[in-house]
Amino acid sequence: MHTYIFKDRCGRVIHVETDDEGETAVAFHHAEPVGRLSVSHDDRAGPLSAFLVELFVEPPYRRSGIAHTLVANARDAAGSPIRVRRQMASQNEAFSTLCRCLEREGLLLVH
């Protein structure tokens, strides 16, 4: 288990816990879960082996950098951009916009 703490864009202290494999991360504010990320690794997929399974941030905490921070740390743990299936990335306008922004930063790879 790994833990890190950061302040989101609203100045809230966010505590994030990740598992040792870097496959799951949960963000907490005042001990309440406010976001989560889940990736899976496919060793047969070569260097780009981490695939996004789930990324969710509670509505009151959206647009404050929590999703970005969760993905950035997963990307660092994986050593390469997190892959996202195009169908998943286009499930709604807000998530599609987030994926485009994160892809431009090199954190995600939409395929």
Domain membership of residue 93 (yes or no) is no
Taking the C-alpha atoms of residue 79 and residue 73, their distance in angstroms, rounded to an integer, is 10
Sign (positive/negative) of CA torsion 14, 105, 51, 55?
positive
pTM: 0.92
Radius of gyration of the chain (CA): 13
Total of domains in the chain = 1
Domain membership of residue 49 (yes or no) is yes
Domain membership of residue 88 (yes or no) is no
Domain membership of residue 108 (yes or no) is no
The CATH number for 36's domain is 3.40.630.30
Domain membership of residue 56 (yes or no) is yes
Domain membership of residue 92 (yes or no) is no
Domain membership of residue 104 (yes or no) is no
Q: How many helices (H) and strands (E) does the chain have?
A: 3, 7
pLDDT at residue 105 above 60? yes
- Structural domain range at position 17: 2-82
- Given a contact cutoff of 8 angstroms between Cβ atoms, the answer to whether 22 and 61 are in contact is no
Q: In what order do the strands lie in the sheet with 24-29?
A: 2-7, 13-18, 24-29, 32-41, 50-57, 82-84, 108-110
Band (pLDDT 50/70/90 cuts) for residue 56 is: very high
Taking the C-alpha atoms of residue 30 and residue 105, their distance in angstroms, rounded to an integer, is 30
Domain membership of residue 105 (yes or no) is no
pLDDT at residue 45 above 60? no
3-state secondary structure of 4: strand
